[in-house]
């Protein structure tokens, strides 16, 4: 989105705030000023390469992208929080003194979890009103939940003058999703949303959350996400199974090598994994092989990015898909079909599934000049085969979550 579009989006959101929280109360109407509202722009994220490496303490290259959650609000000087989601056309109100999980309203738990985490760490937070909207798709694997979490964190830091280190923001929001919401995700989503930088991607080491910005100006290209619209009914069960298989592989490799320094699959190198091919059960070997080779693919991708070699980067994406399909076994017929078909088209630089797998989306790097041809061709073929229209989401890289002053946009 351009700055003018962002400005107009927030203007409409501020008008909605007035309708929901001010209009009809004369004392409020007389004192209300739009300039007193705090506006937060929070991006989605994509993972370029490095899938299922986060919980194995490995590597990834990820980025924030220009699909956003928009937040505007202010203090209400009460002991409660009231939120209106324009995207979901739903409201929710809860007291700050008793923040409990809401089993009937999923989306509010992401906000509650962040607030509870900040309060737990000694931050003083009062009541506030909030309006939330966005053009970031929900359920497409672009981390709308992390975008909302980090956006709310940034909002409360602004209105209550909290000074929190960015890495702690990542940790607080991650714990909110893990411990309060109950989604066992790694740190990548919140990290990319917090640390994103326009025209750069983030090379991230999950072992210690050290990172490096790598320049990646898309120029005549863009990131294309294709949402297969395939529901992930088994994702939680299979995702947990993959995590267990990785832990089992680590314990077995540690026992075989008698090396207690191997605490994760990311402590295993390419030579070692080759030597273990006949010593580890086939299923565990395949899981370990994916993680070890995926970490190496991240390193290769970093090298190609620094050289500006987008064609070789695209080839690595296809190699990652092959590994996710055959070694980690998290791809599906529909995801395979999308990757196979899009990779045949000129102007496409690779593709692979993005996220946990078992459904969801694929990511590809494509030339801007062929976007219409790609969406028309792939859309028609996919509909003919599966009777479902996929969603096409075009992205560029973005800065991380930040406050927006409308006069500057």
d(CA 154, CA 141): 22
Strand duo 210-215 + 221-227: pairing: unpaired
Q: What is the DSSP string of 259-328?
A: -TT--SGGG--HHHHHHTTTTS-HHHHHHHHHHHHHHHHHHHHHHHHHHT-HHHHHHHHHHHHHHHHHTS
- Asked if residues 330 and 358 have their Cβ atoms less than 8 Å apart, the reply is yes
d(CA 251, CA 266): 13
Nearest of 240, 244, 232 to residue 358 by alpha carbon: 232
- Asked if residues 83 and 130 have their Cβ atoms less than 8 Å apart, the reply is yes
Say yes or no: 380 and 283 in one domain. Answer: yes
Say yes or no: 237 and 209 in one domain. Answer: no
Say yes or no: 207 and 123 in one domain. Answer: yes
d(CA 83, CA 72): 10
**How far apart, in Å, are the Cα atoms of 118 and each of 13, 121, 138, 188, 237?**
26, 5, 25, 20, 30
d(CA 344, CA 347): 9
Say yes or no: 339 and 213 in one domain. Answer: no
Q: What is the CATH number of the domain that holds 342?
A: 3.30.70.890
* Locus of tokens 């994760």: 264
Say yes or no: 167 and 194 in one domain. Answer: yes
d(CA 284, CA 242): 9
- Asked if residues 363 and 214 have their Cβ atoms less than 8 Å apart, the reply is no
Say yes or no: 298 and 278 in one domain. Answer: yes
Looking at residue 353, what is its pLDDT?
96
Q: What is the CATH number of the domain that holds 30?
A: 3.30.230.10
Say yes or no: 94 and 188 in one domain. Answer: yes
- Asked if residues 232 and 355 have their Cβ atoms less than 8 Å apart, the reply is no
Diameter of the chain by CA atoms? 77
d(CA 292, CA 273): 8
Sorted by sequence, the CB contacts under 8 Å of residue 344 that are 6+ apart come out as none
State the Cα torsion 136-139-140-146 to the nearest 10°: 60
Number of H helices, E strands in the chain: 12, 12
Residue 134: strand, helix, or coil:
strand
Looking at residue 378, what is its pLDDT?
97
- Asked if residues 326 and 318 have their Cβ atoms less than 8 Å apart, the reply is no
Residue 357: strand, helix, or coil:
coil
Q: How many CA atoms lie within 13 A of 261 on its CB side?
A: 3
Q: Which of 54, 133, 189, 227 is flagged as catalytic?
A: 189
Say yes or no: 119 and 186 in one domain. Answer: yes
Strand duo 80-85 + 128-134: pairing: parallel
d(CA 156, CA 102): 21
- Asked if residues 291 and 56 have their Cβ atoms less than 8 Å apart, the reply is yes
Looking at residue 234, what is its pLDDT?
47
Looking at residue 3, what is its pLDDT?
85
Looking at residue 141, what is its pLDDT?
82
Helix, strand, coil % (nearest 5) of the chain? Answer: 45, 20, 30
One digit per residue, the tens of pLDDT, for the chain of length 409 reads: 778 899 999 999 999 999 999 998 888 888 899 999 999 999 999 999 999 999 999 999 999 999 999 999 999 999 999 999 999 999 999 999 989 999 999 999 999 999 999 999 999 999 999 999 999 988 788 989 999 999 999 999 999 999 999 999 999 999 999 999 988 788 999 999 999 999 999 999 999 999 999 999 999 999 999 999 987 654 456 888 999 999 999 999 999 999 999 999 999 999 999 999 999 999 999 999 999 999 999 999 999 999 999 999 999 999 999 999 999 999 999 999 999 999 999 999 999 999 888 988 999 999 999 999 999 999 999 999 999 999 999 999 999 999 999 874 4
Say yes or no: 370 and 246 in one domain. Answer: yes
Say yes or no: 122 and 237 in one domain. Answer: no
- Asked if residues 29 and 121 have their Cβ atoms less than 8 Å apart, the reply is no
Looking at residue 237, what is its pLDDT?
61
Burial of 258 (0-12, 13-18, 19+ CB in 10 A): exposed
d(CA 147, CA 136): 9
Give the structural domain span for 248. Answer: 221-393
Clarify whether 98 is annotated catalytic. Answer: no
* Locus of tokens 């630089």: 349
Say yes or no: 198 and 264 in one domain. Answer: no
Query: Structural domain tally of the chain?
Result: 2
Sorted by sequence, the CB contacts under 8 Å of residue 279 that are 6+ apart come out as 256
Distance of CA 269 to the CA centre of its chain: 28
Say yes or no: 161 and 241 in one domain. Answer: no
**How far apart, in Å, are the Cα atoms of 57 and each of 197, 266, 365?**
23, 6, 26
pTM of the model: 0.93
């Amino acid at each position: 989105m351009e700055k003018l579009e962002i400005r107009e989006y927030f203007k409409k959101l501020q008008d909605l705030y007035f309708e929901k929280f001010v209009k009809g109360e004369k004392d409020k109407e007389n004192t209300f000023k739009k300039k007193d509202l705090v506006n937060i722009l929070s991006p989605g994220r994509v993972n370029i390469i490095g899938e299922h490496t986060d919980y194995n303490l490995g590597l990834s290259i990820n980025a924030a992208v220009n699909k956003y959650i928009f937040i505007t609000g202010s203090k209400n000087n009460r002991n409660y929080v009231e939120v209106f989601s324009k995207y979901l056309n739903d409201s929710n109100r809860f007291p700050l003194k008793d923040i409990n999980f809401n089993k009937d309203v999923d989306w509010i738990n992401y906000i509650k979890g962040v607030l509870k985490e900040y309060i737990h760490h000694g931050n003083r937070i009062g009541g506030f009103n909030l309006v939330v909207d966005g053009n970031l798709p929900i359920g497409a694997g672009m981390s709308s939940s992390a975008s909302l979490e980090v956006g709310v964190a940034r909002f409360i830091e602004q209105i209550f003058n909290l000074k929190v280190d960015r890495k702690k923001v990542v940790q607080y929001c991650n714990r909110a999703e893990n411990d309060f919401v109950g989604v066992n995700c790694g740190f990548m989503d919140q990290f990319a949303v917090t640390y994103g930088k326009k025209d750069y991607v983030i090379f991230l080491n999950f072992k210690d959350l050290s990172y490096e910005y790598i320049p990646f100006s898309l120029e005549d290209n863009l990131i294309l996400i294709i949402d297969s619209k395939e529901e992930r009914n088994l994702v939680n069960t299979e995702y947990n199974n993959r995590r267990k298989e990785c832990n089992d592989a680590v314990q077995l490799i540690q026992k075989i090598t008698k090396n207690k320094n191997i605490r994760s699959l990311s402590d295993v190198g390419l030579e070692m994994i080759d030597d273990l091919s006949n010593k580890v059960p086939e299923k565990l070997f395949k899981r370990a092989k994916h993680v070890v080779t995926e970490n190496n693919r991240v390193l290769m991708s970093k090298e190609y990015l620094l050289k500006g070699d987008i064609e070789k980067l695209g080839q690595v994406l296809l190699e990652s898909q092959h590994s996710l399909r055959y070694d980690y076994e998290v791809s599906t017929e529909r995801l395979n079909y999308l990757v196979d078909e899009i990779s045949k088209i000129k102007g496409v630089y690779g593709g692979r599934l993005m996220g946990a797998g078992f459904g969801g989306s694929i990511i590809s790097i494509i030339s801007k000049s062929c976007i219409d041809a790609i969406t028309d061709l792939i859309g028609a073929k996919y509909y003919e085969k599966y009777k479902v229209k996929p969603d096409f989401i075009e992205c560029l890289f973005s800065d991380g979550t930040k406050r927006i002053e409308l006069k500057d946009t």
